[in-house]
Structures are given as structure tokens and as C-alpha cells.
Amino acid sequence: MLSVGQAQAERALAVVELFTSQGCSSCPPADHVLGELAQERDIIALSYHVDYWDYMGWKDIFGSPENSQRQRVYAHRMKKKNVYTPQMVVNGKADVVGSRPMDVAKAVMNAKKRTMPVSVKITPVAQGLLVSAASNGLQNGTYDLIAVAITPNAEVQIKRGENRGKTI
């Protein structure tokens, strides 16, 4: 379902993206940290399952090459040589190891300090949707809009690989 309308952020928000995999033994603690963050009203918590660990004995049912590519784009923008899991990217600017809650909290706090309120308006037009944004601190220009299809919550029992026997 697509919701069309207008929204205004009255408080600083943080978008936290976790790059994770069901085949990564270091990822369940980060999944838990993201779950805690998702309870916060001022955090948009997103989990992107990558596919590059699928060879380890368990194919991540949510993993996709598009998610892996998204992570590589962040790595390029942040001048990182490698991608890793569990990686959290905060507001598209900072990355931290997702299983380190104190580092995550610091990155989120710093991101909120730099976040400005934005008013977003979505209007149906003949060609699709027109999205406009306004903010006192937003510079004129062209911006990328990322639309994300979400599944609110899903659990999977892992039968093979490093996380065998766990429910993630």
C-alpha cells in the first residue's frame, strides 16, 4: 500500500541501516541492537540482508545482490576498502560495527545533532509521484530518493551454517 500525503519531522531523526546476514555468526547481536533501536520513535531502523555470505552453508532467504550493492556504494562513498557484517550505517554518513551498542548509540546521537527538520510532500502526478522536500538548512539541488519495501518483522529458524539452531 502506498501512502501519499505530507509529513514534517518535528524532531531530529536518525536512519539506521544494518547490513546483516543469516549466515554471519557475528550478526545476531547486531540484529538485537537494531531491534532495540526500532522501538525508538526518532529512529528509522532498516535491515538489509546481503548475499555474499550465502556460500557459508546457509542461503539467507532475505539476502539480495541489491542489498550487497547498496552496502558497496556506501563503502565507496565513505572511502572504505571492504564491506563487512554486521555494519550499521547511520544517516548515510557514518558506519559502526552493529554489534557494539555503545558505538551505535554514539553514532546515532552524533547524527541527530546534525539532522535538520524536513517537510516532505508527496503528490500524485500523471507520470507517477512528485516528491518535494523543504528545510531551512536544505540546499537547493537534486537529491536521491530511496524507496524501501519493508516487512515489519520476520523470524527464521537457521538450519545450517554458523548460526545453525538459532532463530533470527
- The 10s digit of each residue's pLDDT in 72-90 is 999 999 999 999 999 999 9
User: Residue for cell digits 550505517?
Assistant: 89
Domains recognised in the chain with CATH numbers: 12-116 (3.40.30.10)
Predicted structure pTM score: 0.83
- The pLDDT value recorded for residue 159 is 84
Query: How do residues 8-18 score in pLDDT, each as one tens digit?
Result: 555 678 999 99
* Sheet strands side by side (includes 94-97): 43-49, 14-20, 87-90, 94-97
**Residues 6 or more apart whose Cβ sits within 8 Å of residue 39:** none
pLDDT digits (tens, 9 = 90+) for 148-165: 777 777 888 888 878 888
